[in-house]
Amino acid sequence: MEPRRHVLRPTTPHTHTIIFLHGRGSYSLEFASEFFESQTSDEQNVRDLFPGVKWIFPSAPYLSCGDTGSQISQWFDMKVTERPHEDEYQQQKALMKAVEFIGDIVEEESAIIGSKNVILGGISQGCALAIHALLGKMIPLGGFLGMSSWLPLKDEFTALYGFPNPAIATPLMLQHCKNDDVVALHYGEELRNYLTTVGMSVEWRVYDSGGHWFNEPNGIDDLVVFLTRVMK
């Protein structure tokens, strides 16, 4: 069985930790490998640009898929990623269990390096979970990165976490590609709008191409600029 997290140690003194969550159907090693293959406009990868970062890529459990009964890697079960709000009430139990798992990692790293030096994020279902984990900890972190995602349990969100919530001080960057055929752009806009409504400062980036992934190189460039700013 794969360990529940894949860790890449810093190559210089440890200054920050980035906890980055993969999407549904992926796993930590695959996501890390594909992410670090992505390059900036000057052909650099993110790990080389931030040698003092410890990268933690947690892995989702294998859960039964309600539609087929097959086991797939997912943070919480959903019928289809393309319709994320369908039968959403069935997602809450597994989502809250995953929130606890990610919250524990955030606590561990905060004890080592300080919460202001911890950055949380994810792509697709990983981002959807990460935003719940951020608000669930109720402490501001150094930053949040989200790509190609949506807000699960949006109608219960305020009741679950309460606002004002100290975590809203966390700076956020959200990215979405217009041609994402898995999680449509309007779901990302819905996420951005809700987080703005509750008082969060959201840096929103939309790209013409990239599909259900990062836009290269512009999205990676923007990610690097954001990380450089929040890690000063």
Residue 87 confidence (pLDDT): 84
Say if residues 106 and 118 touch (Cβ distance below 8 Å).
yes
Q: Which two tokens stand for residue 150?
A: 């949506």
> Using CA of residue 97, residue 67, residue 210, residue 2, what is the dihedral sign?
positive
Residue 82 confidence (pLDDT): 92
174-202: average pLDDT: 97
Residue 158 confidence (pLDDT): 86
- Percent of the chain, pLDDT > 70? 98
Q: Is the pLDDT of residue 162 over 90?
A: no
* Cα radius of gyration (the chain): 16
Q: Which two tokens stand for residue 69?
A: 């009964």
136-153: average pLDDT: 96
pLDDT digits 0-9 by tens, 1-21: 445 899 999 999 999 999 999
Domain around 75? 5-230
pTM (predicted TM-score)? 0.95
CATH number, position 25 = 3.40.50.1820
Question: DSSP letter string over the chain?
Answer: ---SEEEE--SSS--EEEEEE--TT--HHHHHHHHHH---TTS--HHHH-TTEEEEEE-PPEEE-TTT--EEE-SS--S-TTSTTTTGGGGHHHHHHHHHHHHHHHHHHHHHH-GGGEEEEEETHHHHHHHHHHHHHTS--SEEEEES---TTTTTHHHHH-SS-GGGGS-EEEEEETT-SSS-HHHHHHHHHHHHHTT--EEEEEESS-SSS--TTHHHHHHHHHHHHHT-
Q: Is the pLDDT of residue 67 over 80?
A: no
Q: Is the pLDDT of residue 34 over 80?
A: yes
Residue 3 confidence (pLDDT): 55
In sequence order, the β-bridge partners of residue 175 are: 147, 205
pLDDT digits 0-9 by tens, 94-121: 999 999 999 999 999 999 999 999 999 9
Mean model confidence pLDDT for the chain: 95
Calculated CA dihedral for residues 89, 162, 101, 92, nearest 10 degrees: 0
Residue 1 confidence (pLDDT): 40
Say if residues 126 and 22 touch (Cβ distance below 8 Å).
yes
Minimum mean pLDDT range among 50-64, 69-83, 113-127, 203-217: 69-83
Overall number of domains in the chain: 1
Residue 2 confidence (pLDDT): 46
Residue type (1 letter), 135: L
